[in-house]
Amino acid sequence: MKHVVTGVGEDGKSFLESVSIYDDPTTGPTTISLFENSAVPLLARPVSGDLLEIAPEPGTVTWRIFAFHPGRATPFHHTDSIDISTVVDGTVEFAVDTESIALEAGDVVVVNGAGHSWNTELGCRLLVGMVGGSRPSEV
């Protein structure tokens, strides 16, 4: 399983802050912390990508399934939220300003309000939890 976390640099460009791979076989219950937060997230404003206004209100949460048909690509965008996305099935290429990474079923991406896009040749489904955040100009 890949665990990818994005960031937004001082220049406003989005990047992959970390990529962890967990592939050890487990013989019992295992817990891996993917995301924790105790307040309304304060998000940096990325310089690229259009604002996609699907984020919940600050401090609230939505849980959705996004189904992408084969050959589907999203425009480069960002949301006013932290998105925790798990690839349920299929494969997808996840891109930020500086790079991209191939994902498959079981992989998780935490998007911290960064500019990003999704592109799938074969189709995929994502299970996405969104935590509404605020930008510095809104606080």
Which burial class, exposed, middle or buried, applies to 83 when counting CB atoms under 10 A from its CB (0-12, 13-18, 19+)? buried
Nearest to 133, CA basis, from 61, 85, 51: 61
Q: CA dihedral in degrees (100, 4, 83, 125; nearest 10)?
A: 70
Which pLDDT band, with edges at 50, 70 and 90, does 29 fall under? confident
Single pTM value for the model:
0.89
Q: What is the pLDDT of residues 42-81, one digit of tens each?
A: 898 888 899 999 999 999 999 999 999 999 999 999 999 9
Nearest to 51, CA basis, from 4, 95, 116, 110: 116
